[in-house]
Every structure is written in C-alpha cells, then in structure tokens.
C-alpha cells in the first residue's frame, strides 16, 4: 500500500468525529433506545458454580400480569461460541450450569420491576455437583469433568512447539535463569454495560442494536442459533461505551433479546447490570507462568523455554487463541535462536475468560520483562543494554516464523530512556523510590480471521453525492477508540477534504461492507487500508475527469484543501464539488470500494495461525514509583512511553490510547482482580472492583516514534493494545529498584509488598510469588522446521 507523505488531515491532532456527541450526552447507546411497545428483558442466573438442572418451573412467572414471554434453554437449543473449535455455549443453560451467574431463564415484561418479579417466581431445581475452581482441581484426573461426563482432567487446550534445538541452546549458555510468575484475572470494566435491543419487523426481518465490537460475528451467531438466514438479520452497533475485548464474543443477552422479540412480536431491550458484566466476563485469563532462559556471559539469549497454565473459566470463548498468544509474541522483541513453548488452558467453574486488551500477551510480557530484569542483575548487565543486545531487527523473521517488518524498538528504547533519565537515576534514588524499564510489541491485526475463509478482512465503500459530499461505509465498530475518525482521516487525506466533509456510516450489517470487527488492533491497519484503496480509486476517477477538463496529465494533479488541480498551480484547479460533477458526468455513479486481505503469513505448522500480523507495533516504557515501606503502598509518579505507531494518523488518538493503556495497566498491576472464593466472585461491583481513580493516575509522557510501515495505511500501525504491555513489568521492576523486593504475583497489593519487605529484612530474597507450576501434563512439543534465515544461522 502507499506510504505517501500526508499533506492534509493525516498526522494532525484533531477531535474525534463523535467526541462532542459522547461528551455532551447526545451519543445514542443501546440502552438509550426506546422503541414503541418495547419490553424489558431480564435474566435469571445460576446460583451454583456447578450443578445439573433437574427442572425449571416458569408457570407462575408466565402467569404474572405484564409478563410477555419466558425462555429457558430448551427454547434455544443450538450451541455456539466465537471459535469454530469451541461451540460449547448456550444462550440459556441446557441441563447443566457451570458458573455462578450463568444465564438460565430470560423473561420479557412490560417493565424492569415486573421482569424482576417474574424471575423471582421461577423455580429452578438444581442438583449440585462438586465445583472445580483451582488449577489443581481442574487438572485432577479423578475430579468431575465440567464438559463431558464422568471424571478426568479439565484440559480445554494444550499446545507445545519447539523451534530450534532448545537443549543445545541451554547447553551452550553461560547462565540459565528460571522464574515463576502469576498474572491474575481481571475484567475489562468498560464504562458502558452491555446492552441490546431487538426488534422483529413486520417483514419478518430481525434487527438487533447491540453494544458490540464485532457486528459480523454477532450476525453469524444469530444466524446459527436462531436458525434464520443471515440475510433476514441486521445487526447494528450504535455508540459503544468501551469494549477492550469484553464485547467481542456473541453474548447470551443478544440472543435472548432477539428470541424474545421474535416470540413476543415486540421490541425487547436487555441491559446487563454491572454484576452481570462481571459474570459475562471474557476478561484477562489468570495465567501461571514458568520461564527459563539461557544467556551467554555477555547477555545474548541462547534459548528460552516458556510454560503457561491458563484458567479459562467455564467455556471456550477465545481460549484456543489465548493459549497460543501466551507463547507467540515473545520472539517479536527478542532474537531467540531456540524457543520452546508449552501451554495448557483448563476449564473451571468460573465465568469464562477471553480476550482483554493485549489478548494473552500481557501475561507472558509481564513474566518475560521481569525475568529479564532479574537476569540482567545476575549477569551484571544494565537492563536496557540487555534488551538492546537481543533486540529483534527490522525486516527479519523470528524463529517461530513471524515476519517482522518495520520496527522502531531501538528508537523507542533510546528515546524513553533518554526522556526519563533512566541511566542516570536507576539504582541511585533514595530508598522507596525507583525506576523500572520494560518493552513490548503487539500485532496490527491478526493475520488470520477467526473462522477460516479467504475473503477480505475489511472492505470500505465510498459514495459521492452531486454536491460533493462523500459517504464512507464500513462495518468497523467504533468502540471509543476512534476507528471511525481514523477512516475519516484517511479518506479525507486522499481526497483533499476535511473529516467534517464526510458522512460516516458504520457497523451496520445491512448497510456496510464487511469488517471483521474491532479486535486484535486490526481496524486502523486493515479497514484503514481498505479505505485508502477505495479513496485512491475514487480520486483516480476524479483526477481523470479533471485532467480532461483542465487539459493536463492526470498525474500532475493533487487533491488538497477541497480542491483538485495541478500541484503548485492554484490557477489551474477546480473546487472538489465541481470536480465530482465532472467525474459523475464522465463515469456515471461515483462509487468506489476497497478491500484489505492480509498477506499469507502463517508458518508451516498447525497452530501458526496465532501470532502472525502484517505489522507489529513496538513500545518501551519507564515507570517511576514511590513506595512506602511501612504501608506497602506504591504510588506511580510518572510513566514515560515511547511507542512505534508506524505513523500517527491522529496523534491525539494515539496519545489517548497510550494514556488509557497506562490507566488500565495501573489497575491490573495493583488492584483490579476478578477474584473468587470457591465459585463466588468476591465482589461483582465497581465499588469492590478497584479501578484506579484519577487521583492514582500519574502524568504520562508519550513519545511517538514513526517508522512508516511499508504496508500500513500511510505507514500506520496499531496503538490500542501494545502500549499496555510494558507498563506492568516496568512498574514491577521499578518497585524492585525502590525496595529491592520482587512481587512476582499480580496484583501487587500493599500486603504483598510488606511481606516482601519483611522477608528481605529477615535475610530472605525479598520475593513474594508462586513457587512453581502444579503437575501439568504438557504435551510433547511439535518440532517445527526453522525458517530459512535461521537454518543458515544454525548451520555450523
């Protein structure tokens, strides 16, 4: 794709197209919708972590005045799941419940009070089963199986690969280090709870407005579960108040609202309560990790062996990918000549885990960056220098077959350490204050779609009216990250317009061409490239018509400042509105479309579909902390983040993503935890679930590095997820610099800090964290042939 230097709106900071609507309350979220005759839907949830459903009596609820319909699992018998390999969910539990909070019954009534009263009248008879809530219980061969009958280990996924000769790599190492770390689970806690409104039209077509990141996947699921042709179903994402991966699955309430609308003939709205959001979950997997790395005396990595044990909760969700992601991207930052990964995801009787910002990579990144910080200490090498010595080079290939294109990793490291004064201050601050460093990388979109197909992942259509107005059609769902504004910027840039000149129609399966959704940081890169192609085609038509009119060659023309004319010659130009009239006269309908299909990047092995991306963003982070050794309280004083975004389509949005990432990371490192006593969530509310407030939020210095990726639109790469990754280990490493302790287990609570401080004072190693992995039956690794360039390296 083109990487022409932008001249107009691309690269300029400007307010998102929907910013005023969001800020002034005019944006319409699903829960804001009131349709004539609309009913309110509510769900009854399991009160058992694991039980058989022996009977459901809904007769009293159905008899209640104001109740229009009651559904149970028998009404929606088709199983579904976001991944083709994990079709293990039902909209309402069938025969068995697997976690507290699982939807069992749904009602539609005239109002919420009546719906609640109806649910209180439903009798569900359960036969409780032993609950499985820990890794050990999940792995026990003699324990109950959560899916399937009888006893056996509850292993959902198990993957193992070896790239290169790891034993050989360790044997030539001068130093080998092992660490065990735990990353706790947490929820996305998007400000807007999930909500959906369904309406069955008199034409027999169903429309669902839903707060989702993935209208297309919801569409596919409705087609399957409701057993209706996709062409009879329309899914629309209205304004969405945050997703972070929490709205990338098809959800029970979307299906039950649709079914209730079909049954009652009236519109039905279901808005989840905050408690229900914690039960719907799909948040960060808790992962227990073990990592072993070999180094030469001068700090070069000779081999790495990484093991992950994921607690997946009750259902598959994205877990098949998450498991692989905990092993896939370690090699995108470090040159690792021999790499072995083993990962196992277990089922437990807890709400299902799924993808959250960084999807399966923040956990290993935390482990890896803390591990390397410790290794740098062992080796007596500066932690920044250790990273630089192993940094992946641009335009290279990793040992696990990931193609690396542009990389600003070195620039990020240099800029962030310079801005923070890292070298001058680390290790030299008074006790309690410290600096920590870490890096990360993330995908600009998953190279492969969730279900196998060879169609484009993104398409964009443009239509021009006779006054010059341009309408942009894209299914990409703006969930607050600004994807619509990014598409607007790209189209406006190419056509020489301002974003305000565009009409933007998005996230509607009837009106807009495919976009797989706002996940895996794919929209800027993929929908952006589709928009770029569409706009470039449209501009070519306009240039041809204007060239004929002005009697100049088309390649002498530029589109800028709402005019089309000869570059540098304002006398020979026409206004955009005139230009499109000329083009319409010459070509008829002024429409154009563009599409993006990623290159085939999968490696030559099963499981290689997770990890490849057309481009990777790079980040480097320094955090400054002030720790109180008497209270264990850690305050983050400042965060510096250098992020290689390829090119900032809109630097304001990139900085917003960095600041938001820092805030989210702050919660994950210190206080946000999806925690359970047995199968009970300890506090599914925003009072108990501690999201940092603005008072905890440090100043963030964002440094944008532009490497202009050859395949990104205008060179752009992702910014929405990558900047979260290095924040957690940078903070953990800073706490070590401040107090000499290691808390290798998230969240880093004041109590854990005090325990580590006390341990250090008593002559211990000052570490709090897990001792090891339980006995996990990792499978024998698949030995994968090395990429060409590594075969040459490996050859004697």
Partner 1 sequence: MRLPPFTFLEPATLAEATKMLADQGPAATTVAGGTDLYPNLKRRQSSPKTLVSLRRVDGLRGIRANGSGTTIGATTTLGEVAAAEVLPGAIRDAAGFVSSPQIRNVGTIGGNLCVDTRCDYINQNEEWRRAVDFCLKDRGEICWVAPRSSHCWAVSSTDIAPVAIALEAEIRLASVGGERVIPAEALYRDDGIEWLTRAPDEILTEIVVPGGNGMRATYRKVRRRGTIDFPILGVAVAVDVDGGGECTSARIVLGAIASAPVRASEAEEFLAGKRLSDEVIEETARLAGKAARPQDNTDLNSRYRKRMVPVEVGRALRSLA
- Residues numbered 350-389 forming contacts with partner 1, rule: CB under 8 A: none
Binding mask 720-759 for partner 1 (x = CB under 8 A): -----------------------------xxx--x-----
Interface pick for partner 1 out of 113, 178, 465, 761 (rule CB under 8 A): 113
Q: Taking the complex as a whole, how short is the minimal distance between the CB of residue 34 and partner 1, in angstroms?
A: 17
Structure tokens at 733: 């490493």
Angle at 703 between CA 697 and CA 708, to 5 degrees: 135
Binding mask 606-645 for partner 1 (x = CB under 8 A): ------------------------xxx-------------
In the block, tokens 């030995």 appear at 783
Q: Taking the complex as a whole, how short is the minimal distance between the CB of residue 682 and partner 1, in angstroms?
A: 7
The number of residues making up the chain comes to 796
683 contributes a contact to partner 1 by CB under 8 A: yes
- On the question of a cis peptide bond just before residue 747, with omega within 30 degrees of 0, the verdict is yes
- Residues numbered 231-290 forming contacts with partner 1, rule: CB under 8 A: 273, 275
- Residues numbered 78-107 forming contacts with partner 1, rule: CB under 8 A: 100
CA dist 44 and 106 (Å) reads 6
CA dist 207 and 222 (Å) reads 11
Which DSSP letter does residue 794 get? H
Structure tokens at 128: 């409780």
Helix (H/G/I), strand (E/B), else coil: 411: helix
> Which residue lies nearer to partner 1 by CB, 50 or 387?
50
Q: Taking the complex as a whole, how short is the minimal distance between the CB of residue 690 and partner 1, in angstroms?
A: 5
127 contributes a contact to partner 1 by CB under 8 A: no
- 58-67: buried (b, 16+ CB within 10 Å) or exposed (e) per residue? beebeebebb
> Which residue lies nearer to partner 1 by CB, 113 or 569?
113
> Which residue lies nearer to partner 1 by CB, 740 or 750?
750
- Which residue stretch of 127-135, 489-497, 549-557, 674-682 sits at the interface with partner 1 (rule: CB under 8 A)? 674-682
**CA nearest neighbour of 183 among 327, 283, 320, 285:** 285
- Residues numbered 691-710 forming contacts with partner 1, rule: CB under 8 A: 692-693, 695-696
- Residues numbered 173-212 forming contacts with partner 1, rule: CB under 8 A: none
- 713-723: buried (b, 16+ CB within 10 Å) or exposed (e) per residue? bbbbbbbbbbb
Q: Taking the complex as a whole, how short is the minimal distance between the CB of residue 694 and partner 1, in angstroms?
A: 8
CA dist 487 and 474 (Å) reads 9
Interface pick for partner 1 out of 75, 116, 165, 414 (rule CB under 8 A): 116
Interface pick for partner 1 out of 151, 453, 685, 791 (rule CB under 8 A): 685
Helix (H/G/I), strand (E/B), else coil: 550: helix
Interface pick for partner 1 out of 6, 352, 594, 684 (rule CB under 8 A): 684
CA dist 399 and 785 (Å) reads 9
48 contributes a contact to partner 1 by CB under 8 A: yes
> Which residue lies nearer to partner 1 by CB, 104 or 476?
104
> Which residue lies nearer to partner 1 by CB, 173 or 314?
314
Helices first, then strands: H and E counts in the chain: 20, 33
Structure tokens at 633: 């309280």
687 contributes a contact to partner 1 by CB under 8 A: yes
CA dist 54 and 125 (Å) reads 5
Interface pick for partner 1 out of 688, 761, 765, 785 (rule CB under 8 A): 688
- Measure Cα distances from 304 to 111, 164, 167, 333, 748 in Å: 58, 10, 10, 13, 26
Q: Taking the complex as a whole, how short is the minimal distance between the CB of residue 124 and partner 1, in angstroms?
A: 11
SS (H, E, C) 239-304: ECCCCCCCCCCCCHHHHHHHHHHHHHCCCEEEECCHHHHHHHCCCECCEEEEEEEEECCCCCEEEE
- Which residue stretch of 1-9, 42-50, 389-397, 467-475 sits at the interface with partner 1 (rule: CB under 8 A)? 42-50
- 552-577: buried (b, 16+ CB within 10 Å) or exposed (e) per residue? bebeebbbbbbbbbbeeeeeebbebe
Q: Taking the complex as a whole, how short is the minimal distance between the CB of residue 660 and partner 1, in angstroms?
A: 18
Interface pick for partner 1 out of 74, 682, 782, 793 (rule CB under 8 A): 682
Q: Taking the complex as a whole, how short is the minimal distance between the CB of residue 28 and partner 1, in angstroms?
A: 23
112 contributes a contact to partner 1 by CB under 8 A: yes
45 contributes a contact to partner 1 by CB under 8 A: yes
Structure tokens at 317: 């969700």
Q: Taking the complex as a whole, how short is the minimal distance between the CB of residue 134 and partner 1, in angstroms?
A: 19
> Which residue lies nearer to partner 1 by CB, 503 or 685?
685
> Which residue lies nearer to partner 1 by CB, 211 or 671?
671
- Within 8 A by CB and 6+ apart from 577, the residues are 467, 468
511 contributes a contact to partner 1 by CB under 8 A: no
Size of the residue set binding partner 1 (CB under 8 A): 30
In the block, tokens 């706790």 appear at 184
> Where along the sequence are the contacts to partner 1 (CB under 8 A)?
45, 47-48, 100, 112-113, 116, 273, 275, 630-632, 671, 680-685, 687-688, 690, 692-693, 695-696, 749-751, 754
């Amino acid at each position: 794709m083109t990487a022409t230097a932008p001249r107009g709106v691309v690269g300029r900071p400007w307010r998102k197209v929907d910013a005023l609507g969001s800020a002034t309350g005019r944006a319409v979220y699903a829960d804001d919708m009131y349709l004539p005759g609309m009913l309110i839907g509510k769900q009854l949830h399991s009160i058992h972590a694991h039980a058989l459903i022996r009977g459901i009596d809904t007769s009293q609820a159905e008899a209640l005045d104001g109740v229009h319909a009651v559904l149970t699992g028998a009404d929606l018998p088709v199983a579904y799941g976001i991944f083709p390999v994990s079709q293990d969910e039902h909209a309402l539990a069938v025969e068995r419940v697997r976690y507290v909070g699982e939807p069992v019954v749904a009602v539609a009534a005239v109002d919420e009070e009546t719906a609640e009263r109806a649910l209180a009248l439903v009798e569900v008879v359960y036969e409780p089963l032993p609950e499985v809530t820990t890794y050990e219980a999940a792995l026990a061969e003699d324990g109950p199986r959560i899916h399937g009958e009888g006893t056996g280990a509850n292993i959902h996924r198990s993957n193992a690969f070896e790239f290169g000769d790891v034993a050989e790599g360790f044997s030539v190492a001068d130093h080998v280090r092992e660490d065990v770390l735990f990353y706790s689970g947490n929820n996305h806690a998007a400000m807007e709870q999930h909500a959906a409104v369904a309406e069955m039209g008199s034409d027999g077509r169903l429309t669902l407005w839903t707060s989702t990141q993935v209208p297309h996947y919801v569409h596919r699921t409705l087609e399957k579960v409701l057993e209706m042709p996709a062409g009879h179903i329309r899914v629309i994402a209205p304004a969405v108040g945050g997703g972070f991966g929490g709205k990338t699955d098809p959800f029970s309430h979307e299906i039950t609202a649709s079914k209730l609308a079909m049954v009652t003939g009236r519109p039905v709205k279901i808005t989840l309560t905050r408690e229900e959001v914690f039960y719907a979950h799909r948040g960060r997997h808790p992962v227990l990790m073990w990592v072993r790395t070999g180094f030469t005396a001068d700090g070069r990595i000779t081999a790495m062996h990484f093991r992950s044990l994921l607690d997946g909760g009750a259902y598959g969700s994205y877990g098949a990918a998450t498991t692989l992601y905990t092993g896939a991207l370690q090699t995108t930052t470090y040159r690792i000549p021999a790499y072995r990964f083993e990962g196992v995801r277990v089922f437990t009787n807890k709400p299902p885990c799924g993808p959250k910002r960084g999807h399966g990579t923040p956990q290993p990144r935390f482990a890896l960056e803390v591990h390397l910080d410790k290794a740098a200490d062992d080796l007596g090498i500066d932690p920044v220098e250790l990273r630089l010595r192993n940094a992946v080079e641009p335009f290279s290939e990793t040992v696990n077959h990931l193609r690396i294109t542009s990389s600003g990793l070195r620039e990020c490291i240099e800029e962030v350490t310079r801005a923070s004064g890292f070298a001058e201050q680390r290790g030299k601050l008074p006790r309690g204050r410290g600096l920590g460093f870490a890096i990360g990388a993330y995908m600009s979109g998953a190279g492969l779609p969730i279900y196998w197909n060879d169609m484009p992942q993104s398409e964009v259509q443009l239509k021009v009216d006779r006054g010059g107005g341009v309408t942009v059609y894209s299914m990409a769902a703006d969930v607050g990250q600004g994807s619509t504004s990014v598409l607007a910027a790209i189209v406006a840039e190419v056509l020489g317009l301002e974003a305000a000149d565009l009409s933007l129609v998005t996230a509607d399966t009837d009106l807009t061409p495919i976009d797989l959704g706002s996940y895996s940081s794919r929209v800027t890169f993929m929908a952006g490239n589709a928009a770029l192609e569409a706009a470039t085609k449209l501009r070519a038509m306009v240039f041809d018509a204007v060239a004929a009119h002005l009697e100049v060659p088309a390649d002498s023309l530029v589109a800028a400042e709402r005019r089309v004319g000869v570059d540098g010659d304002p006398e020979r130009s026409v206004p955009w509105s005139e230009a499109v009239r000329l083009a319409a006269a010459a070509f008829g309908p002024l429409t154009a479309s563009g599409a993006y299909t990623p290159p085939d990047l999968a490696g030559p092995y099963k499981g290689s579909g997770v990890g490849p991306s057309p481009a990777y963003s790079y980040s480097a982070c320094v955090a400054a902390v002030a720790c109180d050794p008497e209270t264990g309280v850690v305050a983050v004083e400042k965060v510096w983040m250098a992020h290689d975004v390829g090119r900032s389509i809109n630097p304001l949005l990139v900085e917003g993503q960095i600041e938001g990432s820092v805030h989210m990371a702050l919660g994950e490192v210190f206080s946000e935890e999806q925690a359970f006593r047995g199968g009970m969530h300890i506090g599914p509310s925003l009072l108990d679930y501690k999201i940092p407030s603005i008072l905890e939020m440090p100043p963030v210095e964002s440094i944008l590095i532009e490497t202009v990726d050859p395949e990104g639109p205008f060179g752009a790469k992702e910014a929405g997820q990558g900047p979260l990754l290095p924040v957690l280990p940078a903070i953990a490493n800073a706490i070590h610099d401040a107090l000499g302790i290691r808390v290798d287990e998230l969240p880093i609570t004041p109590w854990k800090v005090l325990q580590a401080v006390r341990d250090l004072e008593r002559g211990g190693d000052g570490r709090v964290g897990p001792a090891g992995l339980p006995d996990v039956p990792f499978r024998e690794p698949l030995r994968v042939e090395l990429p060409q360039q590594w075969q040459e390296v490996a050859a004697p």
